[in-house]
Amino acid sequence: MTNSPSIEITDAAKNSHSENQTSWRDYFGFNTDHKVIGIQYLVTAFIFFLIAGLLAMLIRGELLTPELNLVDRPFYNSLFTMHGTIMIFLWIIPSLSGLANYLVPLMIGARDMAFPRLNAIAFWIVPPAGLFLLSSFFLPGGSAQSGWWSYPPLSIQNSSGHLLNGQLFWIVTIILLGISSIMTAVNFVTTIVWMRAPGMTFFRMPIFVWTVLSAQLLQLFFLPSLTGGLILLLFDLTLGTSIFRPFQGGNPILYQHMFWFYSHPTVYVWALPAFGIFSEILPAFSRNPLFGYRSVAIASFGIAIVSAFVWVHHMFASGTPGWMRMLFMFTTMLVAVPTGVKVLAWTATLWKSKLHLETPMLFALGGVVMFLFAGITGVMLGAVPFDLHVNNTHFIVGHFHYIVYNTITMALFGAIYFWFPKITGRMYAEGWGKLHFWLTLIGANLTFFPMFPLGLQGMVRRISSYDPEYTQWNAIASLGAFLLGISILPFIANIIGSWLMGTTASNNPWRATGLEWTTTSPPPRENFAEIPTVTFPPYSYGQPQAWSVDSQE
């Protein structure tokens, strides 16, 4: 018994490959296998992560001491703009697309994504777009310098002329990456709705699949707002229109709405899959079913829906009228409800169980605890009076790095260790993994915690020199950042070394319950010898064989 849409896939697969083995050459070409594309995304994104990380080291190097001594001011502006842009659009988003690409078809019992060629096209937009953005460093006048939001009028005013070449490159890059992301979103939503194996009802899907579905629906609905805003910005920049130009009757606040209407929901495009990762790893390493599975699944949609109505909390200080501030303060606080459901479910899953503290579990536990800091400071920022006090200070930078590094990047590392045996057929080295975890946890807190007191004391963000009173906390943050830089080395050594010569992994080394663990490690070209029929709910630890396929272990 197979479901009908998989016929198209089998065709696509036949065109590109007939045998089951993937060779290293496949990774450098146009390949339609979702697993190859998943790895292409992950490796590409990781390279951009290293580049943006180097830019962060330069930023923290400059901020090590109060004086301006490493770079000049325009280049500092380039640094934080490119760091933020690359980290978001070329690390977080593509790495999560890569992970979801690899896992979702396996988890729902499909042979590939719904549109394999579209999938490959979407990927192949990313590396050239990223290189195009990087090349803007070498333009006369350098890269874009107006921050990752590119607010007008700063991003379009023609004071030096040069500034704008970099800005042009920036806008074109983000439009291209947006087109790629829309293709990806169409593909995931179609795949999850139509390609599930027999018996894989919505409420038997692993939570990771739920979170990908809700995140990709957000992409589909809200990304057009950013792309539209950027096209209008491009008009103002190149054609001399005045849509956002305040002195010629344009409205710069309109851009802020178009930007944040997407860019708040996008925070959940990153965070939801991270929650999905926690929801896979915590049950596997406590050998417990996920507590409150249905509530967690529904909460993913709850978070997605509420997150669509909070964007004005980024504009509390933009002359927003009082009633609107109150309204969006309320909706912002509301996000804590479905999020709280998840945190409670994770805690209850761990309750009174024996924890197996291998590297993926350490990263998941660390990520959940760090998320508490991120979430609590987020609710604090949702309160208008508090936000107005710390607006545009390092408190904000601290808050969102607890999300993007300490929660999401930690979750991604946990996911890579967790599924490494499945992806490569080999085990990683546990000792190196643990070293990576502890260096990350210590480094990340040393780097980002000092930003809270600094912000409360009034140190604004996006400045390259500061008053001597801020020296101590900044020195700690910079040393922490260098430690964080070092923490990546054991990771790289482990991944490359283990991939080449790690011990062979069994099909299900963690005794986890997802469908992906029932096939071989690595899985064959079309994932399953025979499409499985699902008869059990997910996370059925302590139950008999959950799937009606032969267990190969």
Among 42, 56, 195, 272, binds ligand HEM (CB under 6 A): 56
Residue 268's φ and ψ, nearest 5 degrees, are -85, -20
What is the contact mask toward ligand HEM in residues 112 to 151, using x (rule: CB under 6 A)?
Answer: -----------------------------------xx---
Site for Cu ion, rule CB under 5 A: 264
Nearer to ligand HEM, 342 or 399 (CB): 399
CA–CA dist 89, 397 (Å, integer): 17
| Residue 17 binding target from ligand HEM, Cu ion, none, CB below 5 to 8 Å by type | none
CB of 184 to Cu ion, least distance (A): 22
Task: Say which amino acid occupies 229.
Answer: G
Q: Which residue is nearest to Cu ion (CB)?
A: 264
Q: Do residues 345 and 295 lie in contact, with contact meaning Cβ atoms separated by under 8 Å?
A: yes
CA–CA dist 132, 306 (Å, integer): 35
Mapped to the 3 state alphabet, what secondary structure does 294-327 carry?
HHHHHHHHHHHHHHCCCHHHHHCCCCCCHHHHHH
Tokens of 377: 């400071």
DSSP label at residue 469: G
Nearer to ligand HEM, 164 or 209 (CB): 164
CA–CA dist 549, 517 (Å, integer): 11
CB of 139 to ligand HEM, least distance (A): 19
Q: Look at residue 460 and give its three-state secondary structure.
A: strand
Q: Does residue number 404 form part of the binding site for ligand HEM (CB under 6 A)?
A: yes
What is the contact mask toward ligand HEM in residues 363 to 402, using x (rule: CB under 6 A)?
Answer: ----------------------------------x---x-
What is the contact mask toward ligand HEM in residues 457 to 496, using x (rule: CB under 6 A)?
Answer: ----xx------------------x--x------------
Nearer to Cu ion, 42 or 267 (CB): 267
- Spatial neighbors of 236 by CB under 8 A, at least 6 apart, are 152, 156, 242, 243, 244, 245, 250
Question: Can you state the angle between helices 394-401 and 430-448, rounded to 10 degrees?
Answer: 160
Q: Does residue number 89 form part of the binding site for ligand HEM (CB under 6 A)?
A: no
Torsion angle, CA of 91/97/101/104, rounded to 10 degrees? 130
| Residue 264 binding target from ligand HEM, Cu ion, none, CB below 5 to 8 Å by type | Cu ion
Nearer to ligand HEM, 31 or 447 (CB): 447
Stretch of 75-83, 168-176, 301-309, 384-392 contacting ligand HEM, by CB under 6 A: 75-83
| Residue 397 binding target from Cu ion, ligand HEM, none, CB below 5 to 8 Å by type | ligand HEM
CA–CA dist 258, 106 (Å, integer): 36
Among 5, 16, 53, 471, binds ligand HEM (CB under 6 A): 53
Q: Does residue number 81 form part of the binding site for ligand HEM (CB under 6 A)?
A: yes
| Residue 461 binding target from ligand HEM, Cu ion, none, CB below 5 to 8 Å by type | ligand HEM
What is the contact mask toward ligand HEM in residues 405 to 434, using x (rule: CB under 6 A)?
Answer: x---x-------------------------
Nearer to ligand HEM, 283 or 398 (CB): 398
Among 83, 111, 314, 422, binds ligand HEM (CB under 6 A): 83
CA–CA dist 300, 339 (Å, integer): 8
> Percentages helix, strand, coil for the chain, rounded to the nearest 5?
70, 0, 30
Q: How many residues bind ligand HEM (CB under 6 A)?
A: 23
**How far from 480 is each of 26, 405, 447, 474, 491, CA to CA, in Å?**
39, 13, 4, 10, 17
**How far from 420 is each of 67, 246, 423, 481, 509, CA to CA, in Å?**
44, 52, 5, 27, 11
Instruction: Give the footprint of ligand HEM on this chain (CB under 6 A).
Output: 53, 56, 59-60, 80-81, 83-84, 87-88, 92, 147-148, 397, 401, 404-405, 409, 447, 461-462, 481, 484
